[in-house]
């Protein structure tokens, strides 16, 4: 069975996504170690279901399970490279703040353009309300963490 284009696109997007996650982690460690630990836990919690979904996409695209796992490990190198770049940003004035703003904006963009419309698709009103409330709760928790940091 030939590998479908969706598999290649998923790998490219996952590598870029992992690089951005690494940037956020590295820049957070430079700016505030306390916020860095919260960022690492948050990214870890979001990466587990994300990588399971990517694994399913790769298998459905024609990769064997072993090949899909190996390719996901290769894309994980992007997170390490991003972390190194984020850590190196401490040497350049103002770059760390730009990285933090860039990655936060990226996460907000993904939530508003990709996640929210998908949540609202083909569901009952009450289900959509619960999902939006859960997202709002997540944002509220992040705001509380910032104030107690």
**Helix, strand, coil percentages, rounded to 5, for the chain:** 90, 0, 10
Sequence spans of domains, the chain: 5-148
Give 37-53 pLDDT, tens digit per residue.
888 888 888 888 888 88
* pLDDT value of position 119: 63
Indicate if the pLDDT at residue 12 is higher than 80. Answer: yes
Give 86-133 pLDDT, tens digit per residue.
888 877 777 877 787 887 787 777 767 766 676 667 678 888 788 788
> What's the predicted TM-score (pTM) here?
0.72
**Higher pLDDT residue, 133 or 3?**
133
CB contact at 8 A, 2 and 61: no
């Amino acid at each position: 069975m030939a590998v479908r284009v969706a598999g290649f696109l998923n790998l490219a997007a996952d590598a870029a996504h992992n690089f951005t996650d690494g940037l956020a982690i590295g820049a957070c460690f430079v700016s505030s170690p306390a916020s860095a630990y919260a960022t690492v836990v948050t990214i870890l919690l979001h990466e587990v279901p994300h990588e399971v979904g990517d694994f399913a996409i790769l298998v459905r695209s024609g990769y064997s399970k072993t090949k899909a796992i190996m390719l996901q490990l290769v894309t994980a190198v992007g997170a390490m490279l991003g972390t190194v770049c984020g850590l190196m940003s401490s040497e350049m004035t103002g770059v760390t703040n730009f990285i933090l703003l860039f990655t936060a904006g990226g996460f907000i963009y993904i939530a508003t353009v990709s996640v929210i419309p998908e949540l609202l698709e083909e569901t009952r009103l009450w289900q959509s309300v619960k999902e939006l409330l859960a997202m709002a709760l997540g944002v509220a928790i992040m705001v509380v963490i910032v104030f107690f940091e």
